[in-house]
Each structure stands twice: as C-alpha cells, then as structure tokens.
Amino acid sequence: MKNLGIEIIGDLKGIDKEFLTHMNSDEIQAEISRLISHYGFNELGNYYHSFEPGLTAAVALAESHVTFHTWPEFGYVSLNVFTCNYTKDNDNNAKALFDDIASLFRAENIDKQIILRNH
C-alpha cells in the first residue's frame, strides 16, 4: 500500500448565495449518504446543523470522515474528505467522492489540496 490514507481539503467558491441560504439540508444529507455508499464507504453516523443562514456537517465513516461548512453570505463552502487505506486503496474513490460532493454545491471555483497520509 502506497500510503495510509488520503485527505482532500477544498475551498468551494463562487456559489450562488441564495442557493446556499435556502438549500434543503435533508436533501443534501440524503445525497451525501448515497454518494458515500456508492463509493464503497461505510457511514457510521452523521450530524448536520442548520444556522441562519448556513449548514455544517460531520459524517463519520469507518474509513474516517467527511465534513463541510457553508458560509452563504460569502458564497463559500469548505469541504474535507479523509479516508484511510487500511483494507484497500481508497484514494481514487475518495477523490471521486470529493468531486461529486463538491458538485452538489455548484461552485464556480474549487481550490483543492490533496494530502497523502504516510507513516
């Protein structure tokens, strides 16, 4: 195995402020859970909290976590996907999961950093 895991940190910018202000947290939660399962990860639990305005979430995975925080007033979302490679190489699925979650927010610009976790 080439690394212990991968962490993808993203700044999603240029998002429609009205979209972020009025997004449906139940729909986002259902779609993120669907994507997590689709890419073969195991969701252990989640916590979503709505602000006025904004939404924050932490999803615990058997393989690590997915988190995001929205700032509707700035048209900005921070997104973090971290998966380990304990039983198999999850790097490509983690990248695809990040990209698909990012697309839910309809960002015009995504600044992404990929960190390979090594021992």
Express each pLDDT in 86-108 by its tens digit: 888 999 999 999 999 999 999 99
Q: Is 86 a domain residue?
A: no
**Distant-in-sequence, close-in-space partners of 92: CB < 8 Å, separation ≥ 6:** none
- The 10s digit of each residue's pLDDT in 42-101 is 999 999 999 989 999 999 999 999 999 999 999 999 999 999 988 889 999 999 999 999
Whether 119 is catalytic is no
Among residues 64, 78, 103, 119, which one is catalytic?
Answer: 64
Is residue 55 a part of any domain in this protein? Answer: yes
pLDDT of residue 119: 80
In a domain, 53, yes or no: yes
Structure tokens at 60: 């615990």
Number of domains in the chain: 1
Predicted confidence band at 5 (pLDDT cuts at 50, 70, 90)? very high
The band of 3, judged by pLDDT with boundaries at 50, 70 and 90, is confident
Domain carrying residue 64: 5-79+100-117
Give me the pLDDT at residue 81, please.
Answer: 98
> Among this protein's residues, is 69 annotated catalytic?
yes
| CATH number of the domain bearing residue 47 | 3.60.90.10
- Say yes or no to pLDDT of 1 above 60: no
DSSP string, 29-97: HHHHHHHHHHTT--EEEEEEEEETTEEEEEEEETTEEEEEEEEGGGTEEEEEEEEE-SSS--HHHHHHH
Specify if 95 maps to a domain. Answer: no
- Which of the residues 25, 33, 69, 78 is marked catalytic? 69
pTM for the whole structure: 0.94
Catalytic residue status for 65 = no
* Alpha-carbon torsion angle 11, 95, 43, 28, nearest 10: 50
Does residue 39 contact residue 95 with C-beta atoms inside 8 Å?
no
